[in-house]
Amino acid sequence: MGGRIAVLVSGSGTNLQALLDDPDIRPHIALVLSDRPDVGALARGTAAQVETLVIAPGADRAALSEAVADALTDRGIDLVVSAGYMRILGPPVTERWRDRWLNVHPALLPAFPGMDAVAQALAYRVKTTGVTVHLVDQSVDAGPIVLQEAVDVRDDDGWDSLEARIHEVEHRLLPRAVRAWLQGGLIVEGRVVTIREER
């Protein structure tokens, strides 16, 4: 199927790097878009010779959504991938890229949505957390689930050790979901998402 991908970032960009390192995905990444300048993810995009763009938020959240939607439209973006993007975008993006916007979240949704999911898992002393890749809709971390994988929480875990194991899973699951979309293998029926076998 193919398509042009924009990766939305806010930080160091380890999930972006996992996408760039995948030879099936890398040729399709057309834009790395950040809400903050001088983050590591932008440097990773530049090193990979991908266009980078910063759209900083102002006081008006709606204006940010419009600006991002316009930038994606201008570049003919087919799939949006949030890889640690820390902003909530509204209908200009959620409607235009309905069922074409993936996000990776460091918890087993619907548990621990929103910010600080790793810290929440530790604070609640859960025995299992994990990673979810889901489609983005108008709700926060509540769109249809594409992939999930559990990560055990150890008694001696701190934030760094648990996050490191969660990152390992993110770096596998997010590229798998993107590859499936590129191959036309992501089937969305309401809240049910089926992945056809990767070819």
Residue 87 near residue 10, CB atoms below 8 Å: yes
Rounded to an integer, what distance in angstroms lies between the CA atom of residue 177 and that of residue 166? 16
Q: Residue 134 catalytic?
A: no
- DSSP class of residue 142 equals -
Give whole-number Cα distances, 17 to 33, 95, 167, in Å: 14, 27, 12
Number of H helices, E strands in the chain: 6, 9
Which one is catalytic: 105, 134, 167, 171? Answer: 105
Rounded to an integer, what distance in angstroms lies between the CA atom of residue 130 and that of residue 125? 13
Which candidate, 8, 52, 56, places its Cα nearest to that of 36? 56
Which candidate, 9, 12, 11, 10, places its Cα nearest to that of 29? 9
User: Which residues are annotated as catalytic?
Assistant: 105
